[in-house]
Amino acid sequence: MLRRVLVVVGGFAIAGALQAASWFAVYNWVGYRDSAASLLLRFVFFPAIAVIVGQFAGRLSRCASGANAAYSLTPWILWLVISADWIHASALHPIWTNFVPLFYIPLAMFIAVMVFRPPAATAGGAEAE
């Protein structure tokens, strides 16, 4: 149970740290043009964060790696949705803010399940080859 909590908290910390680093990199590289920076973040950096968190959860989980990846990303996704700028919202803003981040969780779950390796059987329960 403690390992699962540590995987979830570690995944959330990794997502937050990578988000801060990606914002810093994008806004220093692209500048403060919101349209280009927003597209770059939402379609390049944020899916990469989901893949990295999925790999982290898949490699360190002993069971339910997909669920651990989903639990790791859920606070980050909620924070993305809640912290959106709703005052200057356009007609497509709810789609960008609410529906695009929902694809990050299944992506992380898929990656976590793909890299997950179940724990090896103990020596007493299985034959060694």
Whether the CB-CB separation of 69 and 112 falls below 8 Å is answered with yes
pLDDT of residue 129: 46
- Report whether pLDDT(128) > 50: no
pLDDT of residue 88: 64
Q: Is 0.85 surpassed by the pTM of this model?
A: no
Q: Residue 115 corresponds to which tokens in the numbers above?
A: 């890299």
DSSP 8-60: HHHHHHHHHHHHHHHHHHHHHHT-S-HHHHHHHIIIIIHHHHHHHHHHHHHHH
The contacts of residue 8 (CB under 8 Å, 6+ apart) are: 57, 68, 71, 72
- The pLDDT tens digits of the residues spanning 31-40 come to 666 677 777 8
Average pLDDT score over the chain: 81
- The pLDDT tens digits of the residues spanning 2-24 come to 888 998 999 999 999 999 999 88
pLDDT of residue 82: 79
- The pLDDT tens digits of the residues spanning 87-110 come to 666 677 677 777 778 888 899 889
Q: Residue 93 corresponds to which tokens in the numbers above?
A: 């803003």
Say how many C-beta atoms besides its own lie within 10 A of residue 73's C-beta: 27
> Taking residues 67-75, what's their average pLDDT?
89
Residues in the chain: 129
**Direct distance between the N- and C-terminal alpha carbons of the chain, in angstroms, rounded to an integer:** 31
Whether the CB-CB separation of 73 and 11 falls below 8 Å is answered with yes
Q: Residue 108 corresponds to which tokens in the numbers above?
A: 């992380």
